[in-house]
């Protein structure tokens, strides 16, 4: 029997997850699927939301209607700490043969698989099913394969790659609901209807436990919060730090903060410093963080405050300040000018 492994944060689980794995199970002939909520994805910045136990329960509620074929596996949450797929696969290898295991990953994860822990071992201990969207161009030659994969390719045909490890990779195109967990979280926090994107049991649990609430209750004074974040950027040598009050405009947030770094690494580091400082001072994570891996344009979303941190060259290219002409420049000044080196 073919055994699927379907991992993720499931924060929250939505109809896109359900449709994707049902399509994969049907097309690949899977007999059973281990649905594995992660404790903490090592490649993702933590975001504000339910506890790991609540995410586990949400995942159980999402899949319970489909019977025993979908088994919600809590091994990563029980292990705690960073969740590494290879640990989960090797645990399942105690029960199943490698030839029977099929790890389901999105095309974006497939491209970055070389960043995963012991990815070489993964290519030997499990087959891969790569889910794609219409328009995705499946590799048709060795030159088109991701660089990390080329040494392992022994043969390939339409939508199918044979590896010299004895395993294979299959591509399956999805035509399902275009929705992401980050979008669902944002809609829940702003009161936007989400009925068609969430199983009823999941939506009911979220309402009952008051999950994904607006961060405003915990932040309070957003102008003061914006100044706090600006001072973090100043302390880390942010370039041309500007803050705007957008409450009188039609912008999606009440405040925005923009800064530049001298490099992509500097930009990403400033975003990480913001996340750490806010967690220490306010005990909360952002609603979402985007672009931190590349560092060209990092967006940190705290609801009524959205922070944009650029590699300076990219900031000049986009001229975002022009979008906020209706806003009021708060005129924050660097409190560290003329003082000893900021720590």
pLDDT in tens, 160-184: 999 999 999 999 998 866 788 888 9
Predicted pLDDT at 324:
74
Q: Which tens digits make up the pLDDT trace of 12-26? A: 999 999 999 999 999
Angstrom distance (rounded) from CA 326 to CA 320:
13
Q: Token pair of 240, please?
A: 């041309």
149-158 own/partner pairs: CB under 8 Å, 24+ apart: 149/113, 149/123, 152/123
The Cα–Cα gap between 185 and 44 comes to 16
The length of the chain, given as a count of residues? 343
Q: Is 172 helix (H, G, I), strand (E, B) or coil?
A: strand
Beta strands in 206-277 (DSSP E): 239-245, 255-261
Say if residues 125 and 95 touch (Cβ distance below 8 Å).
no
Rounded distance between C-alpha atoms, residue 77 and residue 135, angstroms: 35
Name the band, by pLDDT with cuts 50, 70 and 90, for residue 243: very high
341 DSSP assignment: P
> Do 287 and 304 meet the contact criterion of CB atoms below 8 Å apart?
no
User: Of the candidates 325, 323, 277, 273, which has an alpha carbon nearest to the alpha carbon of residue 298?
Assistant: 273
The average confidence (pLDDT) of the chain is: 90
Cα–Cα distance measured from residue 59 to residue 13, given in angstroms and rounded to the nearest whole number: 6
What is the rounded distance in angstroms from the CA atom of residue 161 to the CA atom of residue 139? 9
Q: Are 251 and 283 in contact (CB under 8 A)?
A: no
Domains, in order of start, for the chain: 3-173 (3.40.50.620), 217-329 (3.30.460.10)
Q: Which two tokens stand for residue 71?
A: 């088994």
Query: What number is the average pLDDT over the span 136-157?
Result: 88
Residue holding tokens 């649990």? 205
- Indicate if the pLDDT at residue 97 is higher than 60: yes
Helix (H, G, I), strand (E, B) or coil at 286: coil
Residue 244 bridge partners (DSSP):
256, 329
């Amino acid at each position: 029997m073919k055994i699927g492994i379907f991992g993720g944060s499931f924060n929250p689980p939505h109809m896109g997850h359900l449709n994707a794995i049902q399509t994969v199970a049907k097309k690949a002939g899977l007999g059973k699927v281990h649905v594995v909520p992660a404790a903490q994805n090592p490649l993702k910045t933590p975001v504000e939301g339910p506890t790991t136990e609540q995410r586990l329960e949400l995942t159980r509620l999402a899949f319970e209607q489909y019977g025993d074929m979908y088994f919600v596996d809590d091994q990563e949450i029980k292990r705690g700490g960073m969740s590494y797929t290879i640990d989960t696969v090797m645990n399942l290898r105690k029960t199943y043969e490698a030839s029977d295991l099929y790890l389901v990953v999105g095309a974006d994860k497939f491209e970055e698989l070389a960043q995963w822990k012991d990815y070489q071992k993964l290519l030997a201990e499990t087959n891969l099913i790569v889910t794609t969207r219409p328009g995705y161009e499946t590799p048709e030659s060795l030159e088109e394969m991701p660089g990390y994969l080329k040494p392992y390719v022994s043969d390939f045909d339409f939508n199918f790659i044979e590896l010299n490890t004895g395993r294979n990779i299959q591509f399956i195109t999805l035509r399902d609901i275009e929705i992401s967990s980050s979008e669902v979280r944002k809609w829940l926090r702003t009161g936007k209807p989400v009925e068609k994107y969430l199983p009823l049991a999941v939506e009911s649990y979220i309402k009952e436990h008051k999950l994904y609430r607006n961060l405003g209750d915990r932040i309070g004074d957003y102008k003061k919060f914006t100044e706090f974040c600006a001072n973090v950027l100043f302390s880390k040598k942010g370039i041309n730090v500007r803050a705007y009050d957008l409450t009188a405009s039609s912008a999606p947030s009440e405040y925005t903060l923009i800064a530049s770094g001298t490099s992509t690494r500097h930009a990403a580091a400033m975003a990480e410093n913001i996340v750490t400082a806010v967690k220490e001072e306010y005990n909360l994570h952002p609603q979402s963080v985007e672009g931190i891996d590349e560092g060209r344009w990092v967006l940190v979303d705290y609801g009524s405050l959205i922070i944009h941190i650029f590699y300076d060259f990219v900031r000049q290219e986009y001229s975002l300040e022009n979008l906020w002409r209706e806003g009021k420049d708060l005129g924050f000044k660097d409190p560290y000018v003329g003082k000893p080196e900021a720590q």
